[in-house]
Structures are given as C-alpha cells and as structure tokens.
Amino acid sequence: MDWGLQNRLSSIIKPQNNRALMLAVDHGYFLGPTEKLENPKKVIAPLLKYCDSLMVTRGVQRTSVSATTDTPMVLRVSGGSSIIGEDLSQEDITVSIQDAIRLNASALAMSIFVGSKYEYQTIVNLGKLVSEAESYGIPVLAVTAVGKELGKDARYLSLACRVAAEQGAHIVKTYYCDNFEKVVQSCPVPIIVAGGKKIPERDALQLTFNAIKGGAVGVDMGRNIWQSEHPVAMIRAVRSIVHGNSNVDQAFKLYQKLVSEESKNRPKNKNKPNNPNQNKSKNKNKPNNPNQNKSKNPNPSKK
C-alpha cells in the first residue's frame, strides 16, 4: 500500500487499536434539511473534537466546517437522487478528484445499491472511483446502501460488503444485523457500522458495543448522535466504547453523568428548562430523559 494511502487510512482507523469513530453528517445530500441537522455548522462544531473523522458533503464542508480543523474529512462524492425522487439508487459520482484534493479529503465515500435497478451503475462507479482515488493515494469508503426493497440481513449485507471489497473499497460501511460476524468474516477489508434511525441512547450504545464485538472497527454514526437531546454526551459515550473499551452499562452511566453535568452548567434561564426531566416531550421518539430510554433489547432499525 502506498505511503499516502496508508497514512490517510490510519487517520481514519486509528492504528493504536484499529478502531474508528466517524461522525456522519452527510444526510442532507438526499434528505435535505434532516431533523436536527437543519444547521450543520451548529451541530458539527461541538462534536468535531470527539470524532476521529467526519463524513461530509463538499457543500457542508465548505460552508459549515472550520478549515482550521485537524479532523480528517471523509468526503461523500456520490449523489443525484433525493428522497422525493423516483429511485434513490440512481446515483453517480458528483465530485471530481481535483475538488476532493482541494478539500484535503482523507477518504472518498460513495454508495452502492446492490440488487437495485442501478446496481450496475453504482458498482462500476465504485471500481472507477477506486482506480482514480488510488492514483492519488486516497482511500475509498463504500457505503452498502439499504432501501425498502433491499435486504438488511446477514446474507444480503455479506454479499453487498464483499462486492464492495472486491471492487477495491478500502473500508466498507454497512448495517448491524443478526449474525453480523458472518458479514465481517467474509469481507476482507475493515467494516464500519452505520447507526441507522434514532433509537433510545442506551440501545444505540448497545448497537455500538455489539458491532465492535462482532468485528467492526467502529461506527459511522449520525442520527443517534445529533438527534439525541444531548449530542456531546452521546458522542462521548459512544467514544468510550469505541476507544475506551467501555461496556454498555459504563457508557450509559457516562452519558447520564455528562447529561447531568450539562444541566448543572447551563446558565439559568427562566424560559428554558435546564433539567432534562423538566423538559417533558410530547413526542415519544424524542426522549429528553436518559432514563426514559432504558431498554435491554435493542432492535436497531435501519434507514
């Protein structure tokens, strides 16, 4: 492996422990202003120092991330469809290699849609992107996209991950599933797990723990961090599993401790509740009390 490629890869997957914590904020590329990511600059700023790398689009990188950061950028270079369009799988490469280099990308990311109408196009695009990126020493992360019509079980995900690795992807991002070990065992490159839809904090920590136990190098988590009522506490708890080898109980206790410190340190404002228990939400999907989220049986749903 070329020195530059190895160097970039090691800024994403830390060589000390072979682990990675990637913060995903690229959702707007097909979802538009995703809930709680309406203002990416505000969301990213407090979280940046707690992730090993940021998965981002060029638009958000240029407008919403400080150029003085030393956090590596994993640049999404695929797109072309939106959630209201006809077919989400119709993606192409939308960013030139020159622009990726100008943006100092540490890796390029694109989705493949194995089993979809546009399977051929996305897989061929992955092969071409790997060839081009490798000539500049830039690694490629392949995202095995899932959709309503695509499978989410170990059989499907093993196939999709293996196809990505065979095309030369250096890292594959996929979803956690039952028999996840099988997916990891049949993929010759490191696997990183997406968080999926927002689930209670403890369940997201369980997902992180299970993914690493199953052989993933780490997580590329978005919504379960920035859609939490306490994103900084959540990313620090996730980090304690990825890099601190915490178990789920330890990580969740850390989350609760940080939430309680946050509320103590928040300036008192009569109009704004500063106690997480005070701020009773009407929406069950948006819990604001960490204890509300207790569940020992996570069923992490995918996007």
> Which residues make up the interface to ligand 5RP (CB under 6 A)?
24, 26-27, 55, 111, 143, 194-196, 220-224, 303
Q: Which is nearer to ligand 5RP, 11 or 208 (CB)?
A: 208
How far apart CA 279 and CA 119 sit, in angstroms, is 46
Whole-number minimum distance, CB 6 to ligand 5RP, in Å? 24
Q: Which is nearer to ligand 5RP, 40 or 195 (CB)?
A: 195
Whole-number minimum distance, CB 192 to ligand 5RP, in Å? 9
Residue type, 91: E
Whole-number minimum distance, CB 117 to ligand 5RP, in Å? 18
The string of DSSP letters for 228-297 reads: SS-HHHHHHHHHHHHTT---HHHHHHHHHHHHHHHHHHSPPBTTB--STTTS--S-TTS--SGGGG--SS
Q: Which is nearer to ligand 5RP, 80 or 273 (CB)?
A: 80
How many CA atoms lie within 13 Å of 19's alpha carbon, on the beta-carbon side? 18
CA distance to 98, 163, 212, 243, per residue, from 277 (Å): 50, 47, 32, 30
Q: Whole-angstrom distance between the N-terminal and C-terminal Cα of the chain?
A: 34
Q: Which is nearer to ligand 5RP, 27 or 239 (CB)?
A: 27
H or E stretch at 164:
helix 154-166
Q: Which is nearer to ligand 5RP, 117 or 266 (CB)?
A: 117
Q: Which is nearer to ligand 5RP, 144 or 288 (CB)?
A: 144
Whole-number minimum distance, CB 241 to ligand 5RP, in Å? 15
Angle at 194 between CA 218 and CA 143, to 5 degrees: 105
Give the residue numbers annotated as catalytic, written as ranges: 173
Q: What 3-state DSSP class applies to 107?
A: strand
Q: Which of 287, 266, 285, 284 is nearest to 275 (CA)?
A: 266
Whole-number minimum distance, CB 171 to ligand 5RP, in Å? 12
The answer to whether residues 255 and 230 touch, using CB atoms and an 8 Å cutoff, is: yes
Whole-number minimum distance, CB 158 to ligand 5RP, in Å? 19
| Contacting residues for 40 by C-beta, under 8 A, at least 6 apart | 25, 28, 60, 63, 64
- Cα 32 to chain centroid distance, Å, stands at 17
